[in-house]
Amino acid sequence: MNIELIPAIDLIDGKCVRLTKGDYTQKTIYNEDPVAQAREFERLGFRRLHVVDLDGAKSKHIVNDQVLKAITTATNLIVDFGGGIKTEEDIEKAFAAGAHMVTVGSIAVTEPELFMTWLDKYGADRLILGADVRNGKISINGWKEDSEEGLLPFLKRYVDRGVKNVLCTEISKDGTLAGPAIELYKTIMSEFPDMHLIASGGVSATEDIKNLENEGIPAVVFGKAYYEGRIDTARLLMPSHGLAKRIIPCLDVKDGETVKGTNFVNLRSAGDPVELGKAYSRAGADELVFLDITASYERRKTFTDMVERVAREVNIPFTVGGGINELSDVERMLHAGADKVSINSAALRRPELIDEITSHFGSQVCVVAIDARLDEDGWNCYVKGGRERTQRGLFEWAEEAAQRGAGEILFTSMNHDGVKQGFANEALATLAERLPIPIIASGGAGKMEDFRDAFTIGRADAALAASVFHFGEIGIPELKSYLRKEGIRVRI
């Protein structure tokens, strides 16, 4: 799915619990071992986790930091942590325990200047503004007190100061399984379209999450619905042909800079990958792909530090490829912040790598990239950045990759790459017909109509492009507006 899926673990006495409407007397224990629960979320394929220290919220200081540390040590989940964050010492404790982000709510209401000093010190990518709402007002201190702060003015104050991530919980919905406050979240997004809004409270079933996605809500937290068996995780985590079409800029990186060429050669510089990634995230790209295009050929590993830098700047799914040959490479990239990995040459050399990745990390992590060229004898697969032809044909290899558990196929036509004459729509349509998993079209984007044709004629699930985005020939907001007018479902 395009919406970010964030399961929750709420902690009381070191146990995984859920409350109803924030009432500590209405507590249900779902797992006495939160570390085991976190491992289960990771095994299922989730990449993020929301941990709430309910003891901390009540006591007004962190209580369960050791449980947090146990979770972050035992898993590679991206964990955001909240509850009881009242001092800078609490923030440092959370980060020391392995939290990637910290959610701050009450202090932003009671001591706004202190919150701003934290925002300046730690940055907008590491702090999440908690906005717990009851009767249109912000609630504080573990929902035990209501302030006089109205929601929208509260959000505007901090968005104007640089806040990007907001976790909004409608308290009357939380733990009730009554459905999320979709109208509230739509109102927030209409006021703040660039916000990374995390909706929380009331999710009762898989359909609620799909409805949030349909309304363009970027992320959702859910707990009770999962614990009570109402969430179809397989349906959520396996990409679907029925979802919105995705627009994906590709950052081809060589020697630390983004490059673009024609037919895989004649490369020219297109800018800094970190800055480009940040700009595309802000512009409304649905995902990013970051490819170290000479890693396989030069037998190098993808630059982990660059992946970390790019990941810190974006709030959309992020795929990394190039030089990934074994499980340890995958683990390193996921730990650095990638959501998925793309494998190409290594998978053709040893197809079992697909099975290994999907069994350890889930199908949604594994993107099999196929560089193919239409030769006189048909479509053939190439490796090492398009330098070496293999004995595998495009369609039979794609079918095997899908059978082995790949989550998506990223198909690049070498004939079309960089020439801006449209995608290989006939081959795309054949792949879509034969495969049960999504297809990402790559190679050939030159004008907006090319994207339309990839989705309609080629039946692709996503379209990837580089130079038309890098050099300002097509703007992502304008492209999405055009596609929507053409009747193609995209997230605006």
- Choice among 80, 252, 292, 461 that is catalytic: 252
């035992």: which residue's tokens? 74
Cα–Cα dist 347/443, whole Å: 21
CA 148 to chain CA centroid, nearest Å: 34
Integer angstrom CA distances of residue 71 from 41, 94, 233, 390: 11, 12, 21, 43
Cα–Cα dist 315/251, whole Å: 16
CA 152 to chain CA centroid, nearest Å: 26
Tokens matching residue 419: 């020439």
* CA angle at 479 for the pair 477 and 484, rounded to the nearest 5°: 95
Annotated catalytic residue 160: no
Annotated catalytic residue 252: yes
Contact (CB, 8 A) for 478 and 486: no
Neighbours of 150 (CB within 10 A): 13
Phi, psi of 143 (to 5 degrees): 70, 15
Contact (CB, 8 A) for 476 and 280: yes
Q: Are strands 265-271 and 257-262 parallel, antiparallel or unpaired?
A: antiparallel
Q: Is the dihedral of CA 116, 119, 124, 128 positive or negative?
A: negative
Tokens matching residue 21: 């409407």
């990518």: which residue's tokens? 125
Phi, psi of 409 (to 5 degrees): -115, 125
Please, what is the end-to-end C-alpha distance for the chain in angstroms?
A: 15
Cα–Cα dist 465/363, whole Å: 24
**R_g of the chain, CA atoms, integer Å:** 23
Residue in 213, 281, 190, 191 with CA at minimum distance from that of residue 199: 213
- Choice among 208, 371, 450, 453 that is catalytic: 371
H or E segment and range at residue 95:
helix 88-96
Tokens matching residue 449: 């109509």
Active site (catalytic) residues: 252, 371
